Amino acid sequence: MNKIGVGYASIKQLEKTYVMDALENERLSPGKYVFKFEKEFAEMHGQKYGIMCSSGTCALHISLEVLKETENWNENSEILVPAITFIATANSCLHAGLKPVFVDVDKLTYNINPSEIEKHISGNTKAIIPVHVFGQPCEMDAIIEIASKYNLKIIEDCAESHFAKYKGKTVGSFGDMACFSTYVAHTITTGVGGIIITGNKEYMEIARSLIAHGRACTCETCIASSQDSVCPKRMGTEIDRRFMFVRIGYSCRVGEMEGALGLAQIQRAGEIMRIRNANAHKLTEALSEFEDIIQLPKYPDYIEHTYMMYPIVIKETASFTRDEFVRYLESNNIETRPMLPLLNQPIYRKLFGNIEDNYPAAKWINNHGFYVGIHHGLSEEELEYLIKTMREFLLKRYLR
């Protein structure tokens, strides 16, 4: 059996057709494909505007910079982030000159625990970044209630949760801004890339400016235009607006090939989501008899999980450790990864000290959790092998 990886990039004929069209049009800078991908992706997630950029990390950083400008945040401004998430979430706060403040997570969902949020709110708290980890939406009603009570902004980190739903609403539609990653092996991939979505036109225009060196030209017409057309706003100022810079920005743009890939991917989203969910449900069914020793994904019926990966935590009742299980899987060509440890990372220990003990749920997950892939690239044979291998280990240890 070949290595069963945690992720998969599904590139089919539609992606190839769109990319070849972009190449034949001889336009590699953002054009019709980027524009259409932005619009359709935003609409699929309940927002009006989409802004494509070079990564999910960039999307978070730019979103924070947008709110820093519009809300007059400073270097003392604090942003609440969960104690379990990919490091990019908290790093983006640091990149923007803001202070991440960590909040413990729920032991069952692995998402930020609403009951832990208020104890971390101070006079400097400005925003919450709920991260929908592993494809499972956060408890957004409670988070929105807290944000409203303390006048906090919400930036959703949806890097791992494309198309997931909470009480019928798609992730990304709850916050002031929302950020997605389209990096390789994410649910929807453009190779490299990310996208910001928002319903606020001012936020959209500032974000477009920031990803392109801070330029004044943020008009959607320019993005969707052909090389032969000229936007009438361009020459309405002393300097061509494309080369007028009004803020200190960044170079976070992507090109037409990424847009072409993204457009094809979202047009295949239904197919991708069906396969991921079917695979996850088969694995859950196969492992359910071991739930007294391993924790499988748990969520209420008002959640639509999208399983970017399949998380498992070893319970204290087990006669084996997480590392023993992981070593067995890896030795049988099944890739595993830890469940997004953050506070025990060397760089964070250096920056924030040994604070992990203050976050017991996150510490428990760090010590006992891992995930495997359950993606839409798994063949029937690979899925059966994954199930068979996991059951073999668990049966041996369970009956011991």
Give the CATH number, domain containing residue 306.
Answer: 3.90.1150.10
Output the pLDDT for position 400: 52
What's the distance, Cα to Cα, between the start and end of the chain in Å? 28
Q: What are the pLDDT digits (tens) for 282-332?
A: 999 999 999 999 999 999 999 999 999 999 999 999 999 999 999 999 999
Return the bridge partners of 310, or none. 372
255, 363: one domain: no
162, 245: one domain: yes
241, 366: one domain: no
205, 71: one domain: yes
pLDDT at 192 over 60: yes
Domain assignment present for 73: yes
Rounded mean pLDDT of the chain?
Answer: 94
pLDDT at 15 over 80: yes
Give how many domains the chain has, as a whole number. Answer: 2
Q: How far apart (Å, rounded) are the C-alpha atoms in residues 181 and 165?
A: 17
309, 236: one domain: no
Output the pLDDT for position 125: 98
Find tokens 């369970």 and name the residue: 398
Domain assignment present for 7: no
Domain assignment present for 8: no
pLDDT confidence band for 193 (50 / 70 / 90): very high
Query: Which residues have C-beta within 8 Å of that of residue 17, sequence separation ≥ 6?
Result: 264
Average pLDDT (17-43) is 94
Q: Which of 246, 267, 288 is the last residue of a domain?
A: 267
pLDDT at 397 over 80: no
CATH of the domain at 25: 3.40.640.10
pLDDT confidence band for 254 (50 / 70 / 90): very high
Q: How far apart (Å, rounded) are the C-alpha atoms in residues 66 and 92?
A: 12
| Other CB atoms within 10 Å distance of the CB of residue 78 | 20
- Find the domain containing 231 and state its range: 13-267
238, 383: one domain: no
Higher pLDDT, 240 or 355: 355
Output the pLDDT for position 398: 65
Domain assignment present for 5: no
Output the pLDDT for position 217: 78
Residue 5 identity (one-letter amino acid)? G
226, 274: one domain: no
Q: How far apart (Å, rounded) are the C-alpha atoms in residues 365 and 49?
A: 36
Coil, strand, or helix at residue 78? strand
Output the pLDDT for position 240: 73
Q: Which of 251, 267, 283 is the last residue of a domain?
A: 267
Average pLDDT (240-263) is 91
Q: How far apart (Å, rounded) are the C-alpha atoms in residues 303 and 167?
A: 6
pLDDT confidence band for 136 (50 / 70 / 90): very high
Domain assignment present for 298: yes
Domain assignment present for 4: no
Average pLDDT (185-202) is 96
230, 369: one domain: no
Average pLDDT (94-115) is 98
Output the pLDDT for position 216: 87
Output the pLDDT for position 303: 97
Higher pLDDT, 232 or 253: 253
How many degrees, rounded to 5, is the angle at CA 101 between CA 251 and CA 76? Answer: 70
Average pLDDT (224-252) is 72
Average pLDDT (105-118) is 98
pLDDT at 194 over 70: yes
Identify which of 336, 309, 322 has the alpha carbon closest to the alpha carbon of residue 368: 322
263, 377: one domain: no
Q: Which of 239, 267, 295 is the last residue of a domain?
A: 267
DSSP code at position 178 = E
221, 275: one domain: no
Q: How far apart (Å, rounded) are the C-alpha atoms in residues 155 and 175?
A: 5
Domain assignment present for 257: yes
Q: How far apart (Å, rounded) are the C-alpha atoms in residues 253 and 108?
A: 37
257, 326: one domain: no
Output the pLDDT for position 238: 65
80, 205: one domain: yes
Coil, strand, or helix at residue 127? strand
Output the pLDDT for position 227: 53
167 and 185 in contact (C-beta within 8 Å)? Answer: no
DSSP code at position 378 = -
Residue 369 identity (one-letter amino acid)? G
pLDDT confidence band for 342 (50 / 70 / 90): very high
